[in-house]
Amino acid sequence: MPRIPYQPADLAEPKELVDAIRKRRGGNLLNLDRMLLQSAPFARGWNAFLGEVRTGLELSPKLRELAMCVVAVLNGAAYEFQHHAPEFIKAGGTAQQVEAMQRSDTLGHDFSLFDSIERTAILLTIEMTRKIEVSDATFAAVRAALPNEQQVVELVGVIATYNMVSRFLVALGVEPE
């Protein structure tokens, strides 16, 4: 049960904002959108920022979605995982990898289903999410794994962004559709 009521699914105002969110979502408002629309300025900024994070980065969609899924698991954000696990598979991930991510012990111990770049991204995600501070060794591994500094910054940014998303979802009790 959400801690604050969602805005109605048929919300029409503020028209420009609601239309922009519906356009990005393929016509519908998700429960997340309906919660965000409690604050038009917040929803406007979120829509623009997350739209860029989802579609405007050079970082591979597979690594982006992997990081989003790992953050979701670590933070107990079922809503986030439900939305991003299918995107991870569409980007080249496997159902076995999705299952492995859902086992919290796997995130700490068994990376065998993931390639070396994915393992490095998982390690960075774990450190950023659980400890905030990233070890020099992990950061060096990320720099070595990715082709350029832009992608390093983008991976760090995705992890930070989806920690924000998961915390918003969990704190407000946003439910999966």
| pLDDT tier for residue 90 given thresholds of 50, 70 and 90 | very high
Q: Among candidates 65, 89, 82, which has minimal Cα distance to 162?
A: 65
| pLDDT tier for residue 111 given thresholds of 50, 70 and 90 | confident
Q: How far apart are the first and last CA of the chain?
A: 12
CB count, 10 Å around CB of 46? 19
| pLDDT tier for residue 103 given thresholds of 50, 70 and 90 | confident
For 47-56, what is each residue's pLDDT tens digit? 999 999 999 9
Residue scoring higher pLDDT (107 or 82): 82
Confidence at residue 64, expressed as pLDDT on a 0 to 100 scale: 98
| pLDDT tier for residue 116 given thresholds of 50, 70 and 90 | very high
DSSP letters spanning 71-115:
HHHHHT-HHHHHHHHHHHHHTT--HHHHHHHHSHHHHHS--TTS-
| pLDDT tier for residue 108 given thresholds of 50, 70 and 90 | low
In this predicted structure, the answer to whether residue 112 has a pLDDT above a threshold of 90 is no
> Domain spanning 61-172: which CATH class is it, in words?
mainly alpha
Confidence at residue 110, expressed as pLDDT on a 0 to 100 scale: 67
Written as six digits, the tokens of 9 are: 């699914």
CB count, 10 Å around CB of 141? 18
Delimit the domains of the chain by residue range.
15-55, 61-172
Confidence at residue 130, expressed as pLDDT on a 0 to 100 scale: 94
Under 8 Å between Cβ of 37 and 29: yes
For 126-145, what is each residue's pLDDT tens digit? 999 999 999 999 999 999 99
Q: What angle do CA 177, 32, 76 make, to 5 degrees?
A: 80
